[in-house]
């Protein structure tokens, strides 16, 4: 009886998701205070989670109560040899564990996340054991995390499990503070270097964000965990496998519009391609130019409005002159 009731309720919420155009392949939005499912799409599908992994990495390190002021040296073994991702953190840098965690959460730096795991008590083996224990404690039965960065597609979970991870992460003030800073200056080898948040909505006008983590590898698409406050409600969203950053942002905009009761716009999802659609973001608005869709999308972060302007095609006139016979 209870199982039938759960299925009926879940189906009713799933129907609500059809009213919201999602570019992400898996979506779950939950009201924090009540646990009510607001929106759902393929929430039980197991998918790679990319750098969303770093929330788990941060929790495990904080649970160990390590000295956050201890200096950590970025080692050559921390360099990504799987995806060959870039990093602005030089090998040999001595950085406090606190700043290393900031780089992992705010800027999603892979060397920083690898260094946190490498310097964990017991090294990589100790870190993996702690992660397995944390996953079991949180009841994330569909989750496997094999390494700290999210570069491996074998780090997999569901939107349902990731809601649990997000809720747990929100209870760590260090994680909420670090993940929601739009930018910060980090001392690298005696020089102040500015790093920015990978989530362009953090710091944007009109957005009250309590937790944020983006993720991307080719196998996972564009992913996002974000806690927002809108219309007096606190809600957590999980977006997995969007085809482009523009699609991920438009999904977040539509989630907020749904919560506030505003009309939800039909989002144009840029086709996934080797070349990422250009995206500019300022403190007050995020502009998205999706070249793949042959249309321009202007998304104002504060109001959540989506304006679609069709690209004008100018046809030049061709004058044909008859060939003269000689």
Radius of gyration of the chain (CA): 22
Q: Which of 24, 93, 107, 108 is catalytic?
A: 108
**41 annotated as ligand-binding:** no
Q: Read out DSSP for 94-112?
A: EEEHHHHHHHHHHS--HHH
107 is catalytic: no
Q: Which of 24, 26, 51, 179 is catalytic?
A: 51
CA distances from residue 269 to 41, 235, 252 in whole angstroms, order as listed: 16, 24, 13
At residue 263, the 3 state secondary structure works out as coil
Q: Which of 24, 26, 41, 54 is catalytic?
A: 54
Angle formed at CA 210 by CA 207 and CA 214, multiple of 5 degrees: 85
Tokens of 109: 């730096």
Distance, CA of 251 to CA of 254 (rounded, Å)? 5
Give which of 249, 256, 213 is closest to 232, Cα–Cα. 256
* Residues with Cβ within 8 Å of residue 215, at least 6 apart in sequence: 49, 50, 51, 52, 53, 108, 150, 222, 223, 224
54 is catalytic: yes
Catalytic sites, residue numbers: 51, 54, 108
- Could you tell me which residues are annotated as the binding site? 213
Mark the binding-site residues for substrate, compressed into ranges: 213
């Amino acid at each position: 009886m209870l199982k039938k009731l759960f299925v009926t309720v879940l189906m009713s919420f799933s129907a609500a998701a059809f009213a919201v155009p999602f570019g992400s392949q898996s979506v779950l939005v939950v009201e924090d205070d009540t646990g009510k499912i607001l929106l759902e799409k393929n929430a039980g599908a197991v998918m790679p989670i990319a750098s969303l992994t770093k929330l788990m990495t941060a929790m495990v390190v904080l649970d160990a109560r390590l000295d956050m002021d201890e200096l950590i040296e970025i080692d050559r073994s921390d360099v990504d040899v799987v995806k060959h991702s870039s990093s602005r953190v030089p090998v040999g840098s001595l950085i406090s564990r606190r700043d290393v965690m900031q780089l992992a959460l705010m800027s999603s730096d892979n060397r920083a996340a690898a260094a946190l795991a490498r310097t964990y008590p017991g090294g990589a083996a100790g870190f993996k054991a702690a992660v397995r224990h944390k996953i079991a404690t949180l009841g994330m039965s569909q989750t496997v995390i094999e390494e700290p960065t999210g570069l491996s597609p074998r780090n997999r979970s569901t939107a349902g499990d990731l809601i649990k991870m997000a809720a747990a992460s929100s209870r760590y003030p260090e994680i909420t503070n670090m993940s929601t800073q739009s930018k910060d200056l980090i001392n690298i080898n005696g020089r102040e270097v500015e790093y920015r948040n990978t989530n362009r909505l953090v710091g944007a006008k009109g957005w009250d964000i309590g937790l944020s983590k983006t993720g991307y590898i080719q196998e996972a698409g564009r992913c996002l965990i974000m806690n927002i406050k809108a219309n007096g409600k606190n809600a957590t969203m999980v977006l997995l496998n969007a085809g482009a950053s523009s699609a991920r942002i438009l999904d977040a905009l539509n989630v907020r519009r749904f919560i506030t009761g505003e009309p939800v716009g039909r989002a144009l999802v840029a086709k996934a391609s080797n070349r990422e659609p250009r995206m500019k973001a300022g403190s007050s608005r995020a502009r998205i130019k999706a070249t793949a869709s042959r249309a321009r999308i202007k998304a104002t972060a504060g109001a959540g409005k989506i304006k679609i302007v069709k690209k004008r095609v100018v046809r030049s006139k061709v004058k044909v002159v008859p060939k003269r016979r000689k």
